[in-house]
Each structure stands twice: as C-alpha cells, then as structure tokens.
Amino acid sequence: LTPIRLSAERMRKRFLENHPELPQIIEKGTATIIEEVDSLMNIIGEFSRFARLPETKLEPGDLNLKISNCTDFFNAHENVHFHLSLDENLPSMMFDKTLIRQVMINLFQNAIDSMGGAGNIWIKTSFDREKMLVRISIKDDGAGIREEDLPKIFDPTFSSKEHGTGLGLAIVEKIVFEHKGRIRCNSRPHQGAEFIIELPVLVKEDSDGKVSCGLN
C-alpha cells in the first residue's frame, strides 16, 4: 500500500501546484498504482486459495509413481537434476492425488528457486513398518535456510523471496496435515535444505469420523 499512497500524494501535490510536467507525473503515478494493485490482487488470490483448499479426497494409489510423474513437470530445467531413490516395497496407500501433486510441485519449485535454477534434488521414499509410516525426503544443494528462519518457514506471512507471498510452504503443511501426516525441515545456510514428510499408510475414516491406518 505504501507505493500507492506515495504515488497518490505526489500526484495530488503536483496537481495543486499546477506543475508543468503534470501529465508525465500522472502517467508514472497511475502506472505505479496499477502495478501495485495487481500485486495486491495476486496476494489476495493466494490467501483466498489457501483459506479454501479443495476437500481432501483419499483414494488408493502408488505414491512412488505420483512423485516420479511430478518430476516430469520440470524437464524444461536442463540444469536441474533429479535423483530418485524410491522404495520398491512401499505399500499402496490412501492419498489425494491432486493435493499431493501440489505438495511435490511446491517443494520442487522451492528447491529450484533456492538453487538459482541449477543443481541437484534428491528424492527418497521409505516405509517404516513398525510405525506404519511412509517417509518422503526431498533434499537440494541450494542456498539453505538460516537457522533463525527455520521456525517460521511454514507461517503464511513469512517469505524469504523478494516477491513471495509466503503461502507455498503453508499450503504444503496444510495438505500434509489434512492427510494426518507431518512435515519438518533440516537445513543450514549454503548446505541445502531437506524436507521430510511422514504420512500414515492407508488412512481410513469410518462413519464416526475415526481415523485408522493399516496395510492393504
């Protein structure tokens, strides 16, 4: 809002002064206002989508296949290399294919941004039979995250990007929570970042709303 206010005040002041360059001042000022309003509309849209994510629709699927397919969206990044280590013994499980796709794409894009468009992304899946959890690890060799920023990265108001809304990781966390899972991040500056997602296997909800987990 600050650039909008300053532009409006400047135009008003120059108008009252009957400034000789008033047309140019108005043209420049209104261009700034339009640009900033567009930016605000984009931010509002992001918050709106965050507030009303689609209802989670769980269905059985191959999580490894979904992750592998998501990497295909980034084939145009010739300098980004994906390294997949997907557990062949991963059981079939219940998840929302659309929302998990969004989680993967958000995390991949964050990693690519952190690496400046060139680097490596390691993706690993594993199954913890004792805890009935599937783990997904997404690690990059990008700029990493400052220690003081780590507790804030999932906050919807926090962003380390110059033009970021801060909603990307907040949406990721919300989707993981909707799957009764959890997500955490390990990172150090200049040593990349690793996001670890844990999802219960085959999440089921009965008519009473109780959640249970089990193998196929």
What's the average pLDDT block by block, 10 residues per block, for the chain (216 residues)? 84 91 91 84 66 79 94 87 95 91 92 93 96 96 91 81 69 92 93 95 56 42
- What is the helix (H) or strand (E) element at residue 104, kind and residue range? helix 97-114
Overall pTM > 0.75: no
SS3 2: helix
Q: How many residues are recorded in the chain?
A: 216
Q: Give strand pairing partners of 86.
A: 125
* C-beta separation of 58 from 99 below 8 A: no
Residue in 181, 184, 205, 182 with CA at minimum distance from that of residue 193 = 184
